[in-house]
């Protein structure tokens, strides 16, 4: 297998007179026989860390793109839709989000959004792979420059083990994780959610990346089956990200006390700078699921009402 084939890159000549093009093929199939392809201008970096294969591409139309193990993590074109919704929904619901833990998030986008909240006093980032941070600092500074803020501490640790060691330590936990494959599987299992609950302070909120209602219903049902027994307030919401499978990706909102539909703080939301996706109205609308999606997290209300 060639080096290009190893990272999902392929060259083809559509006609005898056409120039040769370079495309990235995401390893995740949207459905059987369907996958996403993105035209690439340049390979900025490609190497294997101790944990995974890392690549950053300059794309034809989507800006720079981070790829881990042949799966698209983000593009500059639409990353804001993901990062704004994973952050501002919980932080604007919590009455005083002073201490925040980000598990994963080595690209820096989640931290960038967290730092827009003046109430936040400390942000700890627990990222297992130091090389992701290094690559993003160099090639994705619009996200990773957030790591330079004095409020931020980066810890190169296993996130699941770290959470288990820190009881009642955080107001907000944000799990900005990869898909539930390989080492990431543990972040979608009951013991991790139990440890997250213990790591939250009074009125604490955890938000976890939890896939697409179109292509990952079994994952969502599985997490819901045990998370509903752990958190008094458990809700699922989503955001629209064109470069992710199905164009949407969802999150579980796991709270010890706060109902996300009784917020957010409009005053605090109005003070946030540089937003491109989040609004208080969209915040509330994101929890309204289509009928088949509502059935995944509330079988007793299949109508989605």
- Give catalytic residue positions: 176
The DSSP call for residue 245 is G
Q: Are 49 and 131 in contact (CB under 8 A)?
A: yes
CB atoms under 10 Å from CB of 187, counted, come to 23
Q: Which stretch of DSSP H or E encloses residue 193?
A: helix 190-199
- Which residues does 125 contact at the CB level (< 8 Å), separation at least 6? 101, 102, 105, 106, 111, 147, 152, 153, 154, 155
Reduced to 3 states (helix: H, G, I; strand: E, B; else coil), residue 284 is: helix
Angle at 10 between CA 7 and CA 11, to 5 degrees: 145
The rounded distance, in Å, linking the Cα atoms of 91 and 207 is: 10
Tell me the Ramachandran region of residue 274: left when phi exceeds 0, alpha when psi lies from -120 to 50, beta otherwise.
left
Q: Which two tokens stand for residue 228?
A: 């509903």
What is d(CA 88, CA 251) in angstroms, rounded to the nearest whole number? 12
Cis, peptide link before residue 77, omega less than 30° from 0: no
Residue with tokens 């139309």: 61
- Helices 190-199 and 217-227: angle between axes, nearest 10 degrees: 50
CA distance 300 to 305: 11
State whether residue 22 is helix, strand or coil. Answer: strand
């Amino acid at each position: 297998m060639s080096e290009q084939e190893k990272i999902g890159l392929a060259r083809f000549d559509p006609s005898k007179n056409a120039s040769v093009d370079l495309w990235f093929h995401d390893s995740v199939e949207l459905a059987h026989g369907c996958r996403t392809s993105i035209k690439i201008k340049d390979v900025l970096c490609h190497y294997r860390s101790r944990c995974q294969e890392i690549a950053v591409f300059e794309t034809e139309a989507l800006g720079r793109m981070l790829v881990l193990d042949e799966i698209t993590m983000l593009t500059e074109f639409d990353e804001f839709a993901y990062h704004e919704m994973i952050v501002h929904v919980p932080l604007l619901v919590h009455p005083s989000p002073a201490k925040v833990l980000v598990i994963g998030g080595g690209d820096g986008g989640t931290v960038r959004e967290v730092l827009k909240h003046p109430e936040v006093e400390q942000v700890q980032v627990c990222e297992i792979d130091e090389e992701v941070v290094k690559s993003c600092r160099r090639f994705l500074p619009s996200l990773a420059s957030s790591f330079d803020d004095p409020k931020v501490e980066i810890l190169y640790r296993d996130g699941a083990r770290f959470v288990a060691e820190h009881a009642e330590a955080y107001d907000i936990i944000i799990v900005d994780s990869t898909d539930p494959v390989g080492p990431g599987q543990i972040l979608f299992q009951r013991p991790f959610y139990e440890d997250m609950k213990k790591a939250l302070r009074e009125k604490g909120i955890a938000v976890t990346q939890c896939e697409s209602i179109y292509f990952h219903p079994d994952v969502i049902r599985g997490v819901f089956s045990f998370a509903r027994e752990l958190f008094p307030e458990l809700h699922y919401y989503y955001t629209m990200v064109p470069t992710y499978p199905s164009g949407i990706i969802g999150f579980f909102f796991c709270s010890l006390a706060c109902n996300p539909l009784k917020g957010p703080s409009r005053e605090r939301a109005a003070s946030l700078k540089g937003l491109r996706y989040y609004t208080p109205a969209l915040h509330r609308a994101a929890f309204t699921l289509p009928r088949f999606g509502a059935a995944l997290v509330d079988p007793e209300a299949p109508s989605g009402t």
